[in-house]
Each structure stands twice: as structure tokens, then as C-alpha cells.
């Protein structure tokens, strides 16, 4: 087995000497918020939560500073859909690096930026589309929120409890995931945000719709994750997204689909929202788009994007590195790979098979297995349980993320190319961990 589809090889304790030395340097140099968070987890779970330090990754494998090998079932926060360091992405980046590293963005763009814009517009679910490139998911959400203001003249936004759209100011204001993220900055956040209930079951849909505002006169946008990721892979019941789209149409508000996690094949379709029967007004992309490089995009129909008006001497929304050549080259290759390696079909088929197999396992303590393509959420019984299970899995060589507002969900989003043996090894390790008293 080569690095990429290999099984884990981990010696305890983790991190060992080399990793621990890096962690000490991290604690002495990084903003203390992250170190504090580890301490809090340690207090809550009684286990050490020092991180491993990544030094190499390939396919679904990650190697840490102590030489331990892991299987990454997170895709590095959903980024490595095509696998870490896909040889074709690396080749494209190297080729681009030999030619042009940086251009003059919106003023004098690179050829490869234009190619990426064209490709995204072709993929978009509108006959004619326009796109804006940026670096992070939060950037794409910011662009979408601004687009809604330009298109509707209204600044209010409807969002959902549990939603996660990024932590810069615009996205933070509409992220319902945790009050503690917003609290210190409340005075600097736009106040006109209405959080509605997210229905977890079909029986909750009516109640959720009743929590939408009665008066939409100030509401220019409704932003929704087609599947809530960080909140624990929470799928909207059938018909819910359609009802939202109808209400947006009736009330002259744009429906923004935050497909940063769910899009580009992760959920078995280019666009999860479209697969669920709606055409959103704006789509945000990020994470997997750059194949490992930071690239994001906000895409809308020509008509919606036209609301920005023609450029009048200077761009009123831009960034120094937006549409950078390296990221654009990597994104073009990533899109080619998703198409050429049939990753959308593979995500749909493999996700179904994996979820079915996990359900059939009858794992002790797993109350529910939710999934959309290769995005899975394993619902555990107790708050904070995902923290201890995640750590125990790490010790066995499997990287997964805790999710859910009560940290009671295991989030699984491996590279679509992960091997069967790696998935089977994970299931055996999870059974082992959950079987522990």
C-alpha cells in the first residue's frame, strides 16, 4: 500500500517528542484562544487534546511530526475532496508557479483567472452566470451578502440556528452555530439578522416555517446551508428548501445557498440545493474548489449579478489576492478531476453504501447515521461525547471531527477517493472505541 490509501500506523502517546516540541512552540506563538480551547476540552473530557502536527499528506493519508500515519476522514475541513496533494493538482500548481505567481487582480487579471471564471459560469445552474472569486468561504459569503443588498436594496438577512457561514464580520452576523462566537463582537455585527428554527424532522417543518419573520420588508436575503455541516450534518426535511425558495420569491429576497461544504460533489451532485429541487439565487463555493489551495467563489445569474452595475472606474468589492493565478490553476484542475474521475457519482454511490454499512453495524451508542453523499453525521447519545470519541479514534489513527451544537455528532467527510480498506478499518476502530465502557 502506498501513502494515500494506506492504513494507519500510530505509536502512542500522541503527540510524541517531536510533535510535543512543535505544540510548545505553537502555544508560545499563536493567539492563546486555541490553546485555551484545548485546555477546556481537556477539562471536559479528562483526556489530553494536544494536536498532532501535520508534516505530509497524500490521498487520504496524513503523516505527523513523529512519523505516525493517519487516515483523514475530515478531508482537512472538507477541502481534500479529490484527496490531499492530488498529483494533477500539484503538477498544475508547479506549472503555474513556473509562469506567473501573482497578477493585478481586478485591474489587470491573469489568463488563468479568466479561465476559472468561465468554467464556474458554465457549471452554474443558470443559463447565463457571473462569478466573483475570493480566498476563503467567509469571503464568498461576504460577496453573496453584498450581492443581495445590491440586488434588493434591503439589508436584513434571514439565517438559521445552527448555521455556520464563517467568522469574519458579515458571515459571523448570520452564523447561528454558537452565541459565544458572536457575543464579544456583537456591537460590531450588523443587527438586522433574523434566526429561524432549523427543522430536524419532517414533523418540525411547519413549526420552523412559523419562526420565519412575519414581515420581510427589510429582508434582502435568506442564507442557508443545503445540509448543515458543523451543526452535525443536519439534512433539511424534503420540501423545506422549496418552501424557503417560494417565500424568497414572494418577498423579493435572494436565496443564498452556502454550498461551501456541500457543493462540488461532496453530497453526490455539483450543487446539493439543485439536487434538492431548487435553483438558488446565489451560490457560495470554497473548501474543495482549490484542491488544497485557498480559493472561493460567489456565483449568481447574470441578472442578479448585474445589480452591481457596470464598473465605474474602480471595483467596489475586491481583494489583493482574489483570483490569484496559483489558486485558479489548482481550481481548474480540481474541477477537471471531479468530472474526469467521476467523483460526483462516486460520492453518491460510496456515501450510500457506507451509510448503509454503518447502519447495519448497529454500533453501540450511535443513535442515527445521517448522510448526503460522502458527508456523514453519526449521532451519539451524550453531549460532549464526540470529543472523547474523536480523540480515541485519533489514537487509533483516524481523523474525524466533532460536530453538533452539543458536540454529540461525529462528522465524516473523507476524500471521495478514500479506499474501502480505510473505511473498513475506521468502522472496526469505531466499534472498538464505542465498545469501551
Ligand X SMILES: Cc1ncc(COP(=O)(O)O)c(C=O)c1O
| Contact residues for ligand X, defined by CB under 6 A | 77, 136-138, 141, 164-166, 225, 229-230, 258, 260-261, 286
The residue (of 74 and 110) whose beta carbon lies closer to ligand X is 74
The residue (of 141 and 143) whose beta carbon lies closer to ligand X is 141
Closest residue to bound ligand X by CB: 137
The residue (of 143 and 260) whose beta carbon lies closer to ligand X is 260
Instruction: Answer yes or no: are the C-beta atoms of 266 and 373 closer than 8 Å.
Output: yes
The residue (of 141 and 409) whose beta carbon lies closer to ligand X is 141
Minimum distance from residue 77 beta carbon to ligand X (Å): 6
Minimum distance from residue 31 beta carbon to ligand X (Å): 16
Between CA 116 and CA 122 the distance in angstroms is: 10
Between CA 56 and CA 61 the distance in angstroms is: 8
Query: Please, what's the b/e burial string for 283-308 (b: 16 or more CB within 10 A of its CB; e: otherwise)?
Result: bbbbbbbbbbbbbbbbbbbeebbeeb
Instruction: Answer yes or no: are the C-beta atoms of 344 and 269 closer than 8 Å.
Output: yes
Q: Which helix (H) or strand (E) holds 348?
A: helix 343-361
Q: What is the DSSP string of 122-171?
A: HHSSSSSEEEEEESSHHHHHHHHHHHHHHHHS--EEEEEBT----SSHHH
The residue (of 70 and 164) whose beta carbon lies closer to ligand X is 164
Minimum distance from residue 33 beta carbon to ligand X (Å): 15
Between CA 350 and CA 342 the distance in angstroms is: 12
Minimum distance from residue 314 beta carbon to ligand X (Å): 25
The residue (of 154 and 165) whose beta carbon lies closer to ligand X is 165
Minimum distance from residue 167 beta carbon to ligand X (Å): 7
Number of neighbouring beta carbons within 10 Å of residue 60: 26
The residue (of 6 and 288) whose beta carbon lies closer to ligand X is 288
Minimum distance from residue 175 beta carbon to ligand X (Å): 8
Minimum distance from residue 135 beta carbon to ligand X (Å): 8
Half-sphere exposure of 82 toward its Cβ, with a 13 Å CA cutoff?
Answer: 27
Amino acid at each position: 500500500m502506498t501513502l494515500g490509501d494506506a492504513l494507519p500506523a500510530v505509536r502512542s502517546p500522541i503527540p510524541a517528542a517531536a510533535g510535543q516540541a512543535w505544540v510548545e512552540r505553537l502555544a508560545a506563538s499563536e493567539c492563546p484562544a486555541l490553546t485555551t480551547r484545548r485546555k477546556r476540552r481537556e477539562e471536559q473530557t479528562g483526556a489530553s487534546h494536544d494536536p498532532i502536527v501535520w508534516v505530509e499528506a497524500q490521498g487520504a493519508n496524513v503523516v505527523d511530526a513523529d512519523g505516525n500515519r493517519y487516515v483523514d476522514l475530515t478531508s482537512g475541513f472538507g477541502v481534500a475532496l479529490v484527496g490531499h496533494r492530488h498529483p494533477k493538482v500539484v503538477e498544475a500548481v508547479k506549472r503555474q508557479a513556473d509562469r506567473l505567481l501573482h497578477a493585478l487582480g481586478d485591474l489587470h487579471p491573469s489568463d488563468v483567472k479568466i479561465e476559472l471564471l468561465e468554467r464556474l459560469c458554465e457549471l452554474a445552474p443558470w443559463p447565463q452566470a457571473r462569478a466573483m472569486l475570493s480566498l476563503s468561504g467567509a469571503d464568498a459569503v461576504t460577496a453573496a451578502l453584498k450581492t443581495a443588498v445590491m440586488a434588493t436594496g434591503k439589508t436584513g438577512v434571514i439565517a438559521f440556528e445552527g448555521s455556520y457561514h464563517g467568522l469574519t464580520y458579515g458571515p459571523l452576523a448570520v452564523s447561528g452555530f454558537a452565541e459565544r462566537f458572536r457575543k464579544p463582537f456583537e456591537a460590531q455585527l450588523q443587527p438586522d439578522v433574523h434566526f429561524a428554527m432549523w427543522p430536524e424532522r419532517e414533523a418540525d417543518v411547519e413549526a420552523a416555517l412559523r419562526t420565519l419573520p412575519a414581515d420581510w420588508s427589510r429582508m434582502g436575503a435568506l442564507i442557508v446551508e443545503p445540509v448543515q455541516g458543523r451543526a452535525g450534518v443536519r439534512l433539511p426535511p424534503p420540501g423545506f428548501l422549496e418552501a424557503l425558495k417560494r417565500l424568497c420569491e414572494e418577498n423579493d429576497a435572494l436565496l443564498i445557498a452556502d454550498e461551501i461544504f456541500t457543493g462540488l460533489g461532496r453530497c453526490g451532485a455539483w450543487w446539493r440545493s439543485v439536487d434538492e429541487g431548487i435553483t438558488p439565487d446565489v451560490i457560495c463555493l470554497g473548501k474543495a474548489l482549490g484542491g488544497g489551495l485557498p480559493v472561493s467563489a460567489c456565483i449568481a445569474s447574470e441578472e442578479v449579478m448585474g445589480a452591481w452595475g457596470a464598473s465605474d472606474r474602480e471595483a467596489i468589492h475586491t481583494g489583493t489576492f482574489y483570483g490569484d493565478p496559483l489558486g485558479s490553476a489548482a481550481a481548474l484542475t480540481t474541477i477537471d478531476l471531479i468530472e474526469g474521475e467521476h467523483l460526483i457519482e462516486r460520492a453518491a454511490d460510496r456515501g450510500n453504501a457506507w451509510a448503509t454499512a454503518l447502519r447495519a453495524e448497529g454500533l453501540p451508542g450511535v443513535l442515527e447515521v445521517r448522510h448526503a453523499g460522502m458527508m456523514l453525521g453519526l449521532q451519539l447519545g451524550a453531549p460532549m461525547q464526540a470529543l472523547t470519541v474523536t480523540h480515541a479514534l485519533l489514537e487509533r489513527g483516524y481523523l474525524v471531527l466533532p460536530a453538533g451544537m452539543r458536540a454529540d455528532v461525529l462528522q465524516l467527510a473523507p476524500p471521495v477517493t478514500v479506499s474501502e480498506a480505510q473505511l473498513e478499518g475506521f468502522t472496526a476502530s469505531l466499534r472498538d472505541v464505542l465498545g469501551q465502557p
